[in-house]
Amino acid sequence: MKLYELTAYELSERLTSGEVSAAEVTEAYFERIESVEEKVAAYLELTQDVAMEQARQVDDWRAGGEQPGPLAGVPVAIKDVLCTRGIRTTCGSKMLKGFRPPYDATTVRRCRDAGMPMLGKTNMDEFAMGSSTENSAYKVTRNPWDLDRVPGGSSGGSAAAVAAGMAPIALGSDTGGSIRQPAALCGISGLKPTYGRVSRYGLVAYASSLDQVGPLARDVRDCALAMNVLAGRDQYDATSADVDVPDYVAALTGDVEGLRAGVPKELMGEGIDPAVRTTIEAAIGQFEELGMAIEEVEMPNLDHSLPVYYVIAPAEAASNLARYDGVRYGHRTEEDVSDVYDLFAKTRGEGFGPEVRLRIMLGTFALSAGYYDAYYLKAQKVRTLIKQDFDAAFEDHDVLLCPTSPTVAFGIGEKADDPLQMKLAHVCTIPVNLAGIPALSIPCGMVDAMPVGLQIMGRPFEEATIMRVGDAYQRATDYHRQRPEL
């Protein structure tokens, strides 16, 4: 086994025992990146000098007898939506070309403090808006399983990097499925934590009430390791929750006997590719074999998830993205301008891509006087109904199961001209963000020689339960061990 083929957990064991050094691990990753990045195009920026310095620091700690955390020396890739001090953070947008934040996101700082060398910044849909990573202003990332297909999005760079062995763990952000859907399409594991579980400080906002940072990794155990670093209250994020953080790795007991799982009818029916559905049904059968009780549940309000999301998310985005005006940082038009409003208009017209402009217009419309009640307020009310559907379902069920994505990865350019089809790619993941609950995607089979993802949803702050379920599945199967050939 090559070093880049190991899981973070296996790397951690070898680093702790002294079998390999952090510098060797980091070097191995950069070698791997050098050989396959050209094909996959997962990274926007590589930070080899920073990573090597961090790795050597970790080796010094260990040489000095210190016992840093289990992930010390395990490299990490960072989605370009997270602020990295002094390192370009573009959000895949021309608007932030060359922008170097003066501070680290809390999640980035936590990774640094844990001794995780930063490999680089990964590609994404512009401002995290999209489900194929084709909306990046810089490059198109390819699915390592089939280079003509998309890796999913918006955290497509992070997912492709992990799938291609270019990072053991990557951070992503998930507003409507942007961690889980690319994880599913790239055949890896990805967790969207409960809203408030992980700090959003330094996460460039798309939709503040939905955004959450989480890990993408080869398996659930690695996600749990990462969550031990990421989770917890942050004084710089007023929406971060003051809820105890369990040891997520210790929670992976392999025992799921007697747990009750629900399968929402609304997320298994129309719109789900039949072959994907068959694969999911087989996975559900596996859970029954592991001793879980399975039954279908009805959650009628889930049918409204997409329209609700496409009111709330663009509304918050229109406001969050207002700050990009060319006055303080980022892109500024070089055209002649008549006044400051002309400067704003030209700068924003040039700096934002079409999907971002579309969502800003949608959101502005939804918030405008005379439309607010009919759109934004109504969407918030339906959002409450969706939450209530989840509350009811979780009264009798410990977890809910469904496909992560209705289809396997589609071809590059295939849906580029069909915005609705593109948005349907997140149809199974969006309800989770609206409800603020945690959900995990794990690989559970192949269709068309492409990975299929299973989504496991849980009660608020019960990441440990859904990861225990996912880990039990991975103990019994080896879909998560399959690797694309590059």
The residue among 61 and 372 lying less far from another protein, judged by its C-beta, is 372
Q: How far is the CB of 369 from another protein (least distance, A)?
A: 4
Beta carbon of residue 176, minimum distance to another protein (angstroms, whole number): 15
Question: Catalytic one among 12, 131, 132, 154?
Answer: 154
Reading phi first (left if > 0) and then psi (alpha if -120 to 50, else beta), residue 266 is in alpha
Q: Which is nearer to another protein, 200 or 304 (CB)?
A: 200
Of residues 2 and 328, the one with the C-beta less far from another protein: 328
Q: Under the rule (CB under 8 A), what is the footprint of another protein? A: 82-83, 89, 91, 96, 99, 101-103, 105, 200-205, 207-209, 235-239, 315-316, 318-319, 322-323, 325, 327-329, 340-341, 344-345, 348, 360-361, 364, 367-369, 372, 376
Q: Compute the least distance from the CB of residue 373 to another protein, in Å.
A: 11
**With respect to another protein, which residue has the nearer C-beta, 386 or 469?**
386
Q: Which residues contact 45 (CB under 8 A, 6 or more apart)?
A: 80, 87, 88, 120, 121
CB of 342 to another protein, least distance (A): 9
Cα(152)–Cα(141) distance, integer angstroms: 9
Q: What's the rounded Cα separation, in Å, for the pair 4 and 163?
A: 11
Closest approach of another protein to the CB of residue 422, in Å? 22
Could you tell me which residues come within 8 angstroms of residue 327 by beta carbon, excluding any fewer than 6 positions away? 343
Strands 189-192 and 260-264: unpaired
End-to-end CA distance of the chain: 16
* 154 assigned to active site: yes
Please answer whether residues 351 and 372 qualify as being in contact, where contact means their C-beta atoms are separated by less than 8 angstroms: no
CB of 394 vs another protein, minimal distance in Å? 22
Catalytic residue among 12, 21, 79, 240: 79
Question: Between residues 317 and 424, which has the closer beta carbon with respect to another protein?
Answer: 317
Distance CA 328, CA 339 (A): 16
From the list 114, 113, 99, the residue with the least C-alpha distance to 44 is: 99
CB of 171 closer than 8 Å to CB of 211 = no
Identify whether the C-beta of residue 474 lies closer than 8 Å to the C-beta of residue 218: no
- Quote the tokens at residue 117: 């060398």
Q: Which is nearer to another protein, 145 or 195 (CB)?
A: 195
Active site residue 305: no
Cβ atoms of residues 378 and 359 within 8 Å: no
Smallest distance from the beta carbon of 252 to another protein, in angstroms?
32
- How many other CB atoms are found less than 10 A from the CB of residue 107? 29
Contact 458, 468 (CB under 8 A): no
Residue with tokens 């086994």: 1
Count of positions (residues) in the chain: 486
C-alpha distances in Å from residue 425, one per residue of 58, 304, 315: 40, 15, 21
User: Nearer to another protein by C-beta: 1 or 238?
Assistant: 238
Given the residues 178, 189, 199, 441, select the one marked as catalytic.
178
Taking the complex as a whole, the smallest distance from the CB of residue 191 to another protein amounts, in Å, to 21
> Cα–chain-centroid distance for residue 368?
31
* Whether 136 is catalytic: no
Q: How far apart are CA 162 and CA 31, in angstroms?
A: 14
Do 359 and 318 contact (CB within 8 A), yes or no? yes
Q: Which is nearer to another protein, 207 or 268 (CB)?
A: 207
User: Which of the residues are catalytic?
Assistant: 79, 154, 178
